Amino acid sequence: MSLAALVAAFVRRHWRAYSASAVMLAGIAILTVWVPRRVAAIIDRLVHGQVAPSALLGEFAILVAMGLTIYVLRVGWRLALFSAAYQLGVELRTKLYRQFTLQGARFFQGSRTGDLMARATNDIDAVELTVGEALLAGFDGTMTLILVVAMMTLGIDWRLGLAALLSFPFMAFAFWRISRHVHHAWRDSLARFGKLNDHVQETLAGVRTVRALGLEARSSAHFAELTAAAAKAGDTAQRWEAAYEPAVGLALSAASALTLSLGGWLVWQGELTIGLLTGFSMYLGQLIWPMFAAGHVLSLIERGRAAWERLQPVLEAAPEMPDHGTLAAPAGDAALELGEVTYRFPGQTAPALDAVNLRLEAGHTLGLVGATGAGKSTLIRLLLRQDVAESGALRWGGRPLADYSLDALRAAMAWVPQEAFLFSASIADNIALAKPDASRTEIERAARLAAIHDDILRLPKGYETPVGERGVSLSGGQRQRVAIARALLSDAPILLLDDALSAVDTETETRILSHLRDARRGRTVIIVSHRLSAVMDAEHTLVLRYGRVIEAGTHAELLERNGWYASQWRYQQLEASLDAA
Distance of CA 579 to the CA centre of its chain: 49
Please give the C-alpha separations between residue 169 and each of 127, 166, 336, 467, in angstroms, as whole numbers: 29, 7, 73, 63
Query: How do residues 384-429 score in pLDDT, each as one tens digit?
Result: 888 888 888 899 888 888 888 888 888 888 888 888 888 888 888 8
Question: Range with the lowest mean pLDDT among 190-199, 368-377, 527-536?
Answer: 190-199
Q: Which residues of 311-337 are buried (b: 16+ CB within 10 A; e: fewer)?
A: beebeeeeeeeeeebebebbeeebbbb
Residue 286 has pLDDT above 60, yes or no: yes
What does R_g of the chain's alpha carbons equal in angstroms? 36
Q: What is the mean pLDDT of the chain?
A: 79
Q: Residue 126 burial (CB < 10 Å; 0-12/13-18/19+)? A: buried
Residue 210 has pLDDT above 80, yes or no: no
Task: Give pLDDT, residue 411.
Answer: 84
Give the integer Cα–Cα distance in Å for 144 and 34.
11
> How do beta strands 336-343 and 353-360 pair?
antiparallel
Give the integer Cα–Cα distance in Å for 519 and 540.
18
Residues 428/461, Cβ–Cβ less than 8 Å: no
* pLDDT: which is higher, 446 or 434: 446
Task: Give pLDDT, residue 47.
Answer: 61
At residue 273 the predicted structure's pLDDT band, cuts being 50, 70 and 90, is low
Question: Range with the lowest mean pLDDT among 240-244, 281-285, 508-512?
Answer: 281-285
Give the integer Cα–Cα distance in Å for 13 and 85.
12
Q: How many residues does this entry show for the chain?
A: 581
Question: Range with the lowest mean pLDDT among 214-218, 270-274, 418-422?
Answer: 270-274
Q: Residue 154 burial (CB < 10 Å; 0-12/13-18/19+)? A: exposed
Q: Which residues contact 167 (CB under 8 A, 6 or more apart)?
A: 250, 251, 252, 254, 255, 258
Please work out, in degrees rounded to the nearest 5, the angle formed at the alpha carbon of residue 383 by the alpha carbons of 403 and 96. Answer: 75
Q: Which residues contact 160 (CB under 8 A, 6 or more apart)?
A: 152, 153, 259, 262, 263, 266, 272, 280
> What percentage of the chain exceeds 90 in pLDDT?
2
Give the integer Cα–Cα distance in Å for 87 and 68.
29
0.75 surpassed by pTM: no
Task: Give pLDDT, residue 121.
Answer: 80
Q: Which residues contact 393 (CB under 8 A, 6 or more apart)?
A: 337, 338, 339, 340, 341, 400
Query: How do residues 20-72 score in pLDDT, each as one tens digit?
Result: 777 887 777 777 767 666 666 666 666 666 666 666 666 677 777 777 887 87
Residue 581 has pLDDT above 60, yes or no: no
Give the integer Cα–Cα distance in Å for 388 and 382.
6
Task: Give pLDDT, residue 474.
Answer: 80
Give the integer Cα–Cα distance in Å for 240 and 234.
10
Element (H, E) at 552: strand 548-553
Task: Give pLDDT, residue 466.
Answer: 85
What is the pLDDT averaged over residues 315-344? 81
Task: Name the range with the highest mean pLDDT among 1-5, 243-247, 298-302, 549-553.
Answer: 549-553
Which string of DSSP letters, residue by residue, matches 163-219? Answer: HHHTTHHHHHHHHHHHHHHHHHHHHHHHHHHHHHHHHHHHHHHTHHHHHHTT-HHHH
Residues 362/335, Cβ–Cβ less than 8 Å: yes
Residues 317/373, Cβ–Cβ less than 8 Å: no
Task: Give pLDDT, residue 573.
Answer: 82
Query: How do residues 88-137 score in pLDDT, each as one tens digit?
Result: 788 888 888 888 877 776 777 677 777 778 888 878 888 888 877 777 77
Task: Give pLDDT, residue 54.
Answer: 61
Question: Range with the lowest mean pLDDT among 146-160, 343-357, 473-487?
Answer: 146-160
Task: Give pLDDT, residue 49.
Answer: 63
Please give the C-alpha separations between residue 307 and each of 129, 143, 183, 238, in angstroms, as whole numbers: 11, 28, 10, 16
What is the pLDDT averaged over residues 225-231? 83
Task: Give pLDDT, residue 46.
Answer: 65
DSSP 26: H
Which string of DSSP letters, residue by residue, matches 91-134? Answer: HHHHHHHHHHHH--HHHHHSS-HHHHHHIIIIIHHHHHHIIIII
Residue 533 has pLDDT above 80, yes or no: yes
What is the pLDDT averaged over residues 489-509? 81
Task: Name the range with the highest mean pLDDT among 97-111, 267-281, 438-452, 491-505.
Answer: 438-452
Amino acid at 371: A
Task: Give pLDDT, residue 48.
Answer: 61
At residue 290 the predicted structure's pLDDT band, cuts being 50, 70 and 90, is confident
Task: Give pLDDT, residue 332.
Answer: 67
Task: Give pLDDT, residue 196.
Answer: 81
Which string of DSSP letters, residue by residue, matches 187-198? Answer: HHHHHHHHHHHH
Residue 253 has pLDDT above 70, yes or no: yes
DSSP 433: G
* pLDDT: which is higher, 561 or 19: 561
Task: Give pLDDT, residue 51.
Answer: 60
Helices (H), 384-521: 406-411, 427-431, 440-449, 453-457, 476-489, 506-519
Please give the C-alpha separations between residue 354 and each of 375, 376, 401, 546, in angstroms, as whole numbers: 9, 12, 19, 8
What is the pLDDT averaged over residues 214-243? 80
Give the integer Cα–Cα distance in Å for 368 and 199.
38
Element (H, E) at 399: strand 399-400
* pLDDT: which is higher, 183 or 224: 224
Task: Give pLDDT, residue 326.
Answer: 82
Domains in the chain, start-ordered, CATH in brackets? 3-315 (1.20.1560.10), 336-580 (3.40.50.300)
Three-state DSSP at 367 gives: strand
